[in-house]
Amino acid sequence: MASDSKAGDGRSTAAPAGVRWEIIELLFFAYRDFVGDADHELEAFGFGRAHHRVLHFVHRYPGLKVADLLDVLRITKQSLGRVLKQLLDEGYIVQKAGNNDRRQRLLFATAKGEALVAKLAGLQTDRLNRALRDISPSGVDTIRQFLRAMIDRDDPDKVLEAIFGTGTATAKAKE
């Protein structure tokens, strides 16, 4: 059957570069199992992936504003609200009013939140360490370079700016 050469619809027309089916599928399975580690553990807490994402970024970027979180997760405040309320009610996260702007609710992980996030990140780190065991330090750099290059850099949110250490006088940065 029509194999690689069909290029049925005109995209990626250059002959040497076909569709990268293998990497597409590897990414699918790798990510599925990667998040599966955390998913399984989260069940025991009655939480889902959404809680993990919120807790993770609040832990990593303490003092994150609600608006920042919305940018990073790319969800609406209504969606965030439900998940965030649970995390607040159950003591995984606390809010503090901003110093300069007291309308802001700055978010911080509690000790309880830190513990959960550490457990989840530990599971994922275990998988990463197994996967990277036979890869040289420069190979790991290559992987990092690849992952960075996969990420959209236009309109970066606050977290991406931190990750990329943007000196790029972004249009979006305020204050």
Point out which residues bind DNA (CB under 7 A): 46-51, 53, 65-67, 73-85, 95, 101-105
Is there binding between residue 99 and its own copies (CB under 8 A)?
A: no
- Give me the least distance between CB of 77 and its own copies, in Å please: 19
- Give me the least distance between CB of 9 and its own copies, in Å please: 5
Report helix angle 111-132 to 49-60, nearest 10: 100
Nearest Cα to Cα of residue 109 among 57, 73, 40? 57
Is there binding between residue 8 and its own copies (CB under 8 A)?
A: yes
Q: Which of residues 35-74 bind its own copies (CB under 8 A)?
A: 36, 53, 56, 59-62, 74
Residue 138 per-residue DSSP state: H
- Give me the least distance between CB of 159 and DNA, in Å please: 14
Among 34, 90, 105, 166, binds its own copies (CB under 8 A): 34
Under 8 Å CB-to-CB from 84, ≥6 apart: which residues? 54, 66, 69, 93, 107
Is there binding between residue 20 and its own copies (CB under 8 A)?
A: yes
Residue 111 per-residue DSSP state: H
Question: Which whole-number Å values give the CA distances from 164 to 23, 55, 94, 147, 160, in the listed order?
Answer: 24, 21, 27, 12, 6
Segment contacting its own copies by CB under 8 A, of 75-83, 86-94, 98-106, 134-142: 134-142
Among 88, 104, 159, 166, binds its own copies (CB under 8 A): 159
Q: Which is nearer to DNA, 67 or 135 (CB)?
A: 67
Q: Is 45 left (phi over 0), alpha (psi -120 to 50) or beta?
A: alpha
Q: Can you tell me whether residue 48 is helix, strand or coil? A: coil
